[in-house]
Amino acid sequence: MTDMPPKLAEIVEELASAPRDVVLEMLLEFSDAVAPLPPELAGGSHEGMEQVPECQTAFFLRAEVGPDRVVTTHFDAPQEAPTTRAFAGILAEGLAGATVDEVLAVPDDLYVRMGLAAVISPLRVRGGNAILARLKRQVRERL
């Protein structure tokens, strides 16, 4: 897991090694940690954001690449969708300050590596994988 940003690798390790009940608690904490959208993206229209239809709930994301090649992520999902929000919280925290190369190097099976397939439904894991895939695609497009 050395290709991942250190914070994301730490999150993956913590989730992969935690007992099932602790993983569920951790997911709820990540769900609560999703930052509100900046004013230019807030307001509910989601203009400038991409919807991830593979998610079971309305989920929107936007990746921005700065001149220093640092990626900034923005996520929006309803409060009543804690698992989907947890995916966003994991990525937001784990990729904070990450460069383009670090984001693109995140393994596509990230959620499986965390052991989430044993805790949540395959459909939800598929949604998490789609979030990561779209995020990486946006980063590549913005280069």
Distances from the Cα of 96 to the Cα of 4, 5, 6, 16, 100, angstroms: 12, 9, 10, 20, 11
Please indicate, yes or no, if residue 19 is contained in any of the structural domains.
Answer: yes
Please indicate, yes or no, if residue 30 is contained in any of the structural domains.
Answer: yes
Output the pLDDT for position 43: 84
What's the total number of domains in the chain?
1
Please indicate, yes or no, if residue 46 is contained in any of the structural domains.
Answer: no
Domain that holds residue 104: 6-37+52-141
Please indicate, yes or no, if residue 97 is contained in any of the structural domains.
Answer: yes
Please indicate, yes or no, if residue 31 is contained in any of the structural domains.
Answer: yes
- pTM of the entire predicted model: 0.93
Please indicate, yes or no, if residue 45 is contained in any of the structural domains.
Answer: no
The CATH number that applies at residue 13 is: 3.90.1010.10
Per-residue pLDDT in tens (0 to 9) along the chain, 143 residues = 457 899 999 999 999 999 998 999 999 999 998 999 999 998 888 999 999 999 989 999 999 999 999 999 999 999 999 999 999 999 999 999 999 999 999 999 998 899 998 889 999 999 999 999 999 999 999 99
Question: What's the length of the chain?
Answer: 143
Report the C-alpha gap between 8 and 60 in whole angstroms: 21
